[in-house]
Chain A
Amino acid sequence: MNQPTTFQPATTPTRAPGWLGWLLPIGFVCLAAVLFNSSTASDIPLAPSRTFDKSTLIVGPRRVAMQDPPTVQIEGRPQSCNGCHQIFTSSHPGGAALNFHQDLVLHHGLNNRCVNCHDTADRQKLTLRDGATVTFAETPQLCAQCHGTVYRDWQRGTHGKTLGSWVTESQAQRRLSCNECHDPHSPKYPSYVPLPGPNTLRMGDQSAPVHPEHSGKQNPLQRGFNKPASDRNNKVTPDGVHP
Chain B
Amino acid sequence: MKDLQIWNGPSTSASHVEPELTRRSFLRTGAAAIGGMAALAAALAPLRELASDEMPNLDQFLQKHYKEMSPAEMEQALERIRNKVEERYAVRPHLRDVKPMEGVEFAYALNLSRCIGCRKCVHACVAENNQSRSPEIQYIRVLEMPRGTLDVEKGNHHYDQPTVPNADHFYLPVQCHQCASPPCVKVCPVEATWQESDGVTVIDYDWCIGCRYCEAACPYWARRFNFAKPNLPKDQLNPNMSYLSNRPREKGVMEKCHFCLHRTREGRMPACVEICPTGARKFGNVLDPKSEVAEILRTKRVFVLKEEVGTLPRFFYYFDERYPNTLDPEALAIAARLREEEGDSYGCLPGAAGPRRDFIAAAKPAWWIGENA
Q: Provide the main secondary structure of the chain A interface.
A: loop
Q: Contacts of A7 on B, CB cut-off 8 Å?
A: none
- Beta-carbon contact of B32 and A109 below 8 Å: no
Chain A neighbourhood of B81, CB < 8 A: none
**What residue of chain B has the Cβ atom nearest to residue A56's Cβ?**
B120
CB distance from A7 to the nearest CB of B (A): 14
In the complex, A219 Cα to B231 Cα: how many Å?
45
Comparing B65-73, B158-166, B306-314, the segment that makes contact with chain A is B158-166
Q: Mark A15-29, 1 if CB is under 8 A from B, else 0.
A: 110100110111111
Whole-angstrom distance between the alpha carbons of A209 and B31 in the complex?
Answer: 61
- Is B338 within 8 A of A198, CB to CB? no
Cβ–Cβ < 8 Å partners of B7 in chain A: 10, 12-13
Check A166–B264 contact: CB distance below 8 A.
yes
With a cutoff of 8 Å between Cβ atoms, the chain B residues found around residue A181 in the complex are 277-279
Could you tell me if A195 and B123 are in contact, using CB atoms closer than 8 angstroms?
Answer: yes
Q: Which of B32, B158, B320, B336 contacts A24 (CB 8 A)?
A: B32
Asked if residues A157 and B295 are in contact (CB atoms below 8 Å), the reply is yes
Task: Say yes or no: A36-B45 contact (C-beta < 8 A), given A200-B135, A201-B227.
Answer: yes
What residues on A are CB-neighbors of B279 within 8 Å?
Answer: 159-162, 176, 181
Which chain A residues border B41 with CB–CB below 8 Å? 32
Quick check: is A88 within 8 A (CB to CB) of the other chain? no
1/0 contact string of B182-205 vs chain A (CB within 8 Å): 000000000000000000000000
Whether, in the assembled complex, A87 has its beta carbon less than 8 Å from a beta carbon of chain B, the answer is: no
Measured CB to CB, the closest approach of chain B to A78, in angstroms, equals: 27
A48 and chain B: residue at smallest CB distance = B134
Q: On chain B, which size bracket covers the interface?
A: 35 or more
A27 to chain B minimum Cβ distance, whole angstroms, is 7
Enumerate chain A residues within 8 angstroms of B354, measured Cβ to Cβ: 94-95
Indicate with 1 or 0, residue by residue over A183-221, a CB within 8 angstroms of chain B CB atoms: 000001101111111111100001101101000000101
Comparing A64-72, A132-140, A225-233, the segment that makes contact with chain B is: A225-233
Decide: A225 and B326 in contact? CB cutoff 8 A.
Answer: no
Q: Which of B216-245 contact A (CB under 8 A)?
A: 227-228, 231, 233
Whether B123 and A57, one on each chain, are in contact in the complex, defined by CB atoms closer than 8 angstroms, is yes
A35 proximity list for chain B (CB < 8 A):
39, 42-43, 45
A209 to B169, CA, bound (A): 14
* Contact pattern, B 137-173, Cβ under 8 Å of A = 1, otherwise 0: 1100100000111000111111111111111100000
Given contacts A35-B42, A57-B275, A161-B276, contact A212 B347 (CB under 8 A): no
The answer to the question of A90 belonging to the interface, with a C-beta cut-off of 8 Å to chain B, is no
Contact between chains at B325 and A12 (CB < 8 Å): no
A169 interface residue, CB < 8 Å from B? yes
The answer to whether residues A198 and B158 also contact, given A168-B290, A189-B326, A191-B165 and a CB cut-off of 8 A, is yes
Q: A156-B295, A166-B264 are in contact. Are A110 and B38 (CB under 8 A)?
A: no
Binds A, one of B55-63, B207-215, B280-288: B280-288
Question: Once the chains bind, are B325 and A165 in contact (CB under 8 Å)?
Answer: no
The answer on a CB contact under 8 Å between A193 and B163 is yes
Q: Are A167 and B326 in contact (CB under 8 A)?
A: no
Residues of B within 8 A of A221 (CB): 147-149
A74 contacts chain B at the CB level, 8 A cutoff: no
In the complex, the answer to whether A111 meets B347 with C-beta atoms within 8 Å is yes
Q: Tell me, yes or no, whether A86 is within 8 Å of chain B by CB.
A: no
6 contacts between A and B (CB under 8 A): A16-B6, A49-B233, A109-B335, A162-B292, A191-B116, A225-B147
Q: Which 3 A-B pairs have the closest CB atoms?
A: A28-B35, A112-B347, A49-B133
| Chain A residues within 8 Å of B, Cβ to Cβ | 9-10, 12-13, 15-16, 18, 21-22, 24-29, 31-36, 40, 42, 44, 46-50, 52, 56-57, 59, 62, 94-95, 109-113, 116, 149, 153, 156-170, 172, 176, 181, 188-189, 191-201, 206-207, 209-210, 212, 219, 221, 225, 227-228, 230, 232-234, 241-242
